[in-house]
Amino acid sequence: MFKNAVLAEILKLKGSKIALPVILLPLISVLLGSGNFVANPHELVNGWYSLWTQVALFYGYFFYPIIISICCAYTMRLEKSNHNWNMMMTYPVRQGAVILSKLIIISIISLIVQSFLVILYLTAGLLLGVKGGFPLDILNFSLCGLAASIAVAAVQLYLSMIVKSFALPIGICLGTCVLGLGLCVSGLWMLYPTSLLIKGFGALNQAALSPLEHILFFILCAVYILVFTELAIRRLTKRDTATS
């Protein structure tokens, strides 16, 4: 049944316009970051790392969380229209499978987005003639960003479930991006998933997380994912009880 729930989520995305932000926002991030890199050759002297900070400046702060929030809002929008939630509750699928299938699909989309960004970043670096070998820290930044994006997705799925509006959860995510940036600057990056994303993605500086910070980072990502996924499942269970 869980496999069928995942396949159902894939079918729902067919014919949608989700691909537009998935393609355009990473592309815009790399173009803007590359433009900054070229325009400031005397300040940005650390090769691949400097190029990454410029790309991550736009992507990690805002574009990446916004992509996730759009995907979450869209998957929930389908269920909230035409009483689809009530129809779904009549199917032999557990509430947990419904929520987890959505989270898995969004995680896969996030992985695709991250892979696409790294390919664009590598291509831009080669075209710009960036010297030196490709730094493995970039893969570390990308992995941390992916983990944090799943935590962001768990929060946004829950918000998209409890808020009727399609746009409001996306607007809330944009606000939390600003909050996350402020938390990172003040050293409180562990207090919200968007600040985890900014910190782990290397958007503020070129230094990777320390071993201890890595442990704390992934523990916090797991906590946010588990807590908000459980909240969403409980919310859906209450809906099932109310409609039965």
Chain center to CA of 17: 17
**Side chain identity at 183, as an amino acid letter?**
L
Torsion of CA 230, 231, 236, 237, to 10 degrees: 70
Q: Show the tokens assigned to 88.
A: 């779904």
Domain of residue 108: give its range. Answer: 2-243
Nearest to 184 by CA among 56, 90, 72: 56
Q: CB-based burial of residue 172 (10 Å sphere; 0-12 exposed, 13-18 middle, 19+ buried)?
A: middle
Q: pLDDT in tens for each of the 244 residues of the chain?
A: 667 777 777 777 777 788 888 899 999 999 999 999 898 877 877 788 889 988 988 888 889 999 999 999 988 887 766 666 666 665 656 777 888 989 999 999 999 999 999 999 999 999 998 888 888 888 999 999 999 999 999 999 999 988 888 899 999 999 998 998 888 888 888 889 999 998 888 877 767 788 898 999 999 999 999 999 999 988 887 754 444 4
Work out the number of other CB atoms within 10 angstroms of the CB of residue 190.
16
Chain center to CA of 115: 13
Is the CB of residue 23 less than 8 Å from the CB of residue 81?
A: no
The count of domains in the chain is 1
Q: CB-based burial of residue 158 (10 Å sphere; 0-12 exposed, 13-18 middle, 19+ buried)?
A: buried
pTM of this prediction?
0.89
